[in-house]
Amino acid sequence: MRELELKYGCNPNQKPARIFMEEGELPIQVLNGKPGYINFLDALNSWQLVKELKEATGLPAAASFKHVSPAGAAVGTPLSDVEKKIYFAEGMELSPIACAYVRARGADRLCSYGDWAALSDVCDAATARYLALEVSDGVIAPGYTDEALEILKTKRKGGYNVVQIDPDYVPREVEHKDVFGVTFEQGRNNFAINESLLNNIVTDNKELPDNAKRDMLVALITLKYTQSNSVCYVKDGQAIGVGAGQQSRIHCTRLAGSKADNWLLRQHPKVLDLQFVDGIRRPDRDNAIDVYISDEYEDVLAEGVWQNTFQVKPEVLTLEEKKAWIATQSGVTVGSDAFFPFGDNVERARKSGVRYIVQPGGSIRDDHVIATCNKYGIVMAFTGMRLFHH
């Protein structure tokens, strides 16, 4: 098949719409549903991310995409009991690829609502069972077991989008894109991200353990497929905060940092002890937790809205408690798709437990950025390679 007609483009008024190949066959098959224009943008971008992440780390990888940027990405390491609880995966049998998706989805569950999932490996029944519980638009993978496909076909009243991609497909070296009737052409970004990119450590502290190297790779490959400007925080092989599409680098760092802080706050004992009403939907739980850890929760308590969500009135998680809990975070890695122009990015990142930084370097103020890292004992590597994506 060389062409697939779509219902419409980005918006219902944008017709006609299709995906097609000028030469050869499409590298994808639609096994279920009717994916749209934005679905395929998410699918093809997310597939590249997980494919490269597995190649770089040797581990199964998954991503959770929304509007052509990852809400989360992760490799398939086992989940702790706390992680299983905050990702609503308690009591479930999880394969390595299922662990990867649960982690990717768990990075920012609020933003992952209605996501597009990408899997580096064949989708098995364990992954399909978890996907079946979540609000999601579709999934792309190199294959599906028979059991997994049957599970996914029951989702969204049988309309869940399931796309299979040829893992051996190699795109053309030159890309084209039309904007306002003008065609842009560029070489495809085939830059390989691997550990050899991490050798230029520019700070006094040069201790870079293997787990930090892995997390740097996760950050960089995630950024390669995130709308720029972008910054990514990573912990234990999992993106825990992605700041995408901001015009200012510091706003990227703040946005991603606030998401990383929220990820940690979900693990606070008071959050883990929340008693929800019976039968509450997973998205409603996510929303309730997000409100509970926000600064507006005391207003919500005063309005009595808690009775619709919790069995008993929760004790307020105070600002002091939140600050104290976030201060316990450590060992976090942050990556940036372009250089940090000022040390303020380092100052913000360290407040979320950042110990390792990877960025291209090349700012006229590199010396100030390096000095700020040295002030806090942070390890920073310069890659020399910008990763803008538009």
CA distance 284 to 280: 7
Q: Are 159 and 35 in contact (CB under 8 A)?
A: no
Q: Please name the residue that has the structure tokens 């990763």.
A: 387
Closest Cα partner for 331 from 310, 309, 349, 343?
349
Q: Single out the catalytic residue among 13, 157, 190, 390.
A: 390
What is the Cα 387 distance to its own chain's centre? 16
Q: Single out the catalytic residue among 45, 161, 229, 262.
A: 229
Pairing between β-strand 61-66 and β-strand 115-119 as defined by DSSP bridges: antiparallel
CA distance 22 to 388: 26
Q: Please name the residue that has the structure tokens 């105070």.
A: 318
Q: Is 67 an active-site residue? A: yes
Q: Is 66 an active-site residue? A: yes
Instruction: Find the angle CA(272)-CA(274)-CA(275) to the nearest 5 degrees.
Output: 130
Sign of torsion over alpha carbons 7, 152, 234, 56: negative
Name 232's Cβ contacts closer than 8 Å, sequence gap at least 6.
218, 219, 222, 223, 226, 239, 241, 242, 243, 256, 334, 335, 336
Q: Single out the catalytic residue among 67, 85, 251, 351.
A: 67
Closest Cα partner for 350 from 374, 332, 369?
332
Q: What tokens were used for 91?
A: 């009591």
Peptide bond into 16 cis (omega under 30): yes
What does the CA dihedral 313, 352, 48, 162 come to, rounded to 10 degrees? 0
Closest Cα partner for 143 from 122, 157, 166, 129?
122
Helices (H), the chain: 37-57, 81-86, 96-106, 125-133, 146-152, 210-224, 249-265, 269-272, 282-292, 297-303, 319-326, 344-350, 366-376
Backbone φ/ψ region at 91: left (φ over 0), alpha (ψ -120 to 50), beta:
left
Q: Single out the catalytic residue among 32, 45, 54, 66.
A: 66
| Residues forming the active site | 66-67, 229, 390
